[in-house]
A and B are shown apart, each in its own frame.
Chain A
Amino acid sequence: MARITASVYTSHVPAIGAALDLGKTGEAYWQPLFRGYDYSKHWLAEQKPDVVFLVYNDHATAFSLDMIPTFAIGTAARFEPADEGWGPRPVPPVIGHPELAAHIAHSVIQDDFDLTIVNRMDVDHGLTVPLSLMCGQPEAWPCAVIPFAVNVVQYPVPSGRRCFMLGQAIRRAVESYGPDLNVQIWGTGGMSHQLQGPRAGLINREWDNRFLDRLIKEPDALSRVPHDDYVREAGSEGIELVMWLIARGAMADIHGGAAPKVAHRFYHVPASNTAVGHLILENQ
């Protein structure tokens, strides 16, 4: 049977991708950030997941204002890195897992979550930057990836509660899939940042660290935090953090299992406009 073995949480700032692609990782500005992922790269190489279920948001790339799906699952065999206006990132194509993706879509929709099924889309920095942070710069990504895009661009975005419950449905879906696969679920975006208006540049170190604490220890209570708290305390784009609750909801302890092991925790300010948070939780 397929099983979810671990969850990974990380910010997905575009400037991190640019720093990697332009060979700037050794610069004093970027060194402390990339050091925070040294452990993670070794960890991922050892864990050898077959599939990563990668929760991210599209930044007006695959989805314009023509269509705004709240939850979209990528069921294609392959996804190309998008041209977001700077030209496509020079990273490998993303190889999907159409069979598991279709299985999850089927199961989760029957579990009352209305997913949009996407058979063709390009993927932007929201998806490729986490892969770069966790895998470095390989010729090909080391595993299959199922893109799962969440609307956090046009309000109202899904609540933390809804995301947390969706994660639980995704776990039920994965664990009902026959083939023996090692599956990880990643939640990306955040942490505190605001990219617009006179309040641009907002960072809230205390709030972010409390979020990390609560994500580990009391995710159920954390999932009840309303949207406007995120925006007020962590900036208008800090709302991306609701996506971390999808990954957290898929962990074993939410289903009566043991509390996860905190394999790694990292926090750094700034990457461009953003506070970078990173966490690895392993099911015991």
Chain B
Amino acid sequence: MPLDKPYKDIPGTTIFDAEQSRKGYWLNQFCMSLMKADNRARFKADERAYLDEWPMTEAQKAAVLARDLNECIRLGGNIYFLAKIGATDGKSFQQMAGSMTGMTEDEYRHMMISGGRSVEGNRRIGEDGDAQAHRQPQGSKKKDA
């Protein structure tokens, strides 16, 4: 019987299941290493050299160096692990989450203060909400701006 994965049709959302976890194992374990102050210091001193100590794919290393969290997630990263990179950079969860939308920090913060993103149009792929693929990136960087 095939596994039940009813969460595949939610736009702008990657569910961290066993398949993603397998892909991202070393990427996420690298992130865990940043919970030690010594490792944070070594990573900051030479990011590339530190990353090269881990059996991650080149694409995963490039995504970390670019701080492209959407790409990190696509390659198997999970936000709670990736948050250790943000913490090392002195970023808050709000700055990290906002960076994945294309919005500026101010735009994202304003959206949250105004009540957050609406679920309308964002429940299923194929609707027309602001999280749908055809409406990326969001905010002042949006394609039709």
Contact = CB atoms under 8 A, between A and B. Distances in A.
B93 A15 contact: yes
Contacts of B66: none
Given A85-B40, A195-B96, A196-B13, A201 B101 contact: yes
Nearest to B76: A65
Highest count of chain A CB atoms <10 Å: which of B35, B36, B37, B88: B35
Helix, strand, loop or mixed for chain A's interface? loop
B79 A85 contact: no
A83 interface: yes
A85 B93 contact: no
Contacts of A197: 12-14, 70, 73, 100, 131
A273 B101 CA distance: 13
A156 B13 contact: no
B94 A15 contact: yes
Contacts of B21: 65, 154
Size category of the binding interface on chain B? 35 or more
Contacts of A136: none
Contacts of A29: 113
B87 interface: yes
Interface string A48-81: 0000000000011100111000000000000000
Contact of B102 (A61, A156, A198, A204): A198
A205 B119 CA distance: 10
Interface of A: 14-15, 18, 29, 59-61, 64-66, 82-87, 153-156, 192, 194-205, 207, 226-228, 231-233, 236-237, 269-270, 272-273, 275
Given A60-B32, A84-B84, 7 more contacts: A83-B36, A83-B37, A199-B117, A200-B101, A228-B7, A237-B79, A269-B116
